[in-house]
Each structure stands twice: as structure tokens, then as C-alpha cells.
Amino acid sequence: MRNGKRCVFDPIRHKYVALTPEEWVRQHFVNFLTERKGYPASLLGNEISLSLNGTTKRCDTILFSRTASPQMIIEYKAPHIKITQNVFSQISRYNMALHVDYLVVSNGLTHYCCRMDYERRTYAFLPDIPAYKDL
């Protein structure tokens, strides 16, 4: 507890943050990626700012490649929020600036992962979140 608010330690940001429903999803999903899918925690960044059309936006989580280029954007919603086209539109706007290979959205209960195909100007939904070694 800090200032009357429940907090959780974020090992990616190395600090305590307010435990909101969205943060609950983020912490569990990052743990899933690192513990089950083999993603290196050192390549993940939470709450990464980017400039888009003259405004500052924040990506919930970005996976960076070993050469420090963005490889995956992950957008979280609270468990009671349905994953809709608006969520995909939001993450797609972020991708206009980052041009990543993968887009992931999750509300902690439902997860979607798309692999981008820039050559064909399309994307494909994957049946599962890929393991890090398969990216």
C-alpha cells in the first residue's frame, strides 16, 4: 500500500505502480511471456512513450529486438473490457510509428496476436502467442 492505494512491484520498470485492473493484466501477461514463452525481461519495456501526429502516446509493453528496434507491441485492457475493433485501431495507430512484426492485445482473459506482412499490406492472426525462439 502506498498513499492508500494498492501497489505492485513492476520488475520491468523496477518500481512500485498502482495495481489497477489493467496493471494486473500487464503483470500477469509479462510474467507469462518471460516464464512460459521465454521472452527476455531485458528486452521488454512497459509504458513506452512515442510521438504520433504531434501527440505523445504510451504503448503498454514493447518487445525490442537484440538490436533495440521495436518488434512487438502489446496493448492491455482490464478484464471487464471487451477486445473490440477500437482496441485494434488503437494498437494499429501505435504501429504507424513503430512498424513492428507483431501486435498483441489482451484483457487477461482473451488474447489476440497478429503477425504483420508489410509486403502484402496485410496481417494474419496467430493461434497462440509465439514463443520468443519462434519470432
| Gap between the Cα atoms of 16 and 49, Å rounded | 19
12-15's contacts with Cβ under 8 Å and 24+ in sequence apart are 12/41, 12/44, 12/45, 12/46, 12/61, 13/46, 13/47
User: What range defines the domain where residue 104 resides?
Assistant: 7-129
Helix (H, G, I), strand (E, B) or coil at 7: strand
Listed residue (107, 118, 117) closest to 126, CA to CA? 117
Domains contained in the chain, number: 1
CATH for 105: 3.90.1570.30
Q: Which pLDDT belongs to residue 2?
A: 87
**Could you tell me if residue 68 is inside a domain?**
yes
Domain assignment present for residue 46? The answer is: yes
Q: Is residue 12 part of a domain?
A: yes
Tens of pLDDT, residue by residue over 47-103, are 999 998 889 999 999 999 999 999 999 999 999 999 999 999 999 999 999 999 999
pTM: 0.95
- Does 134 fall in a domain? no
**Is 135 part of any domain?**
no
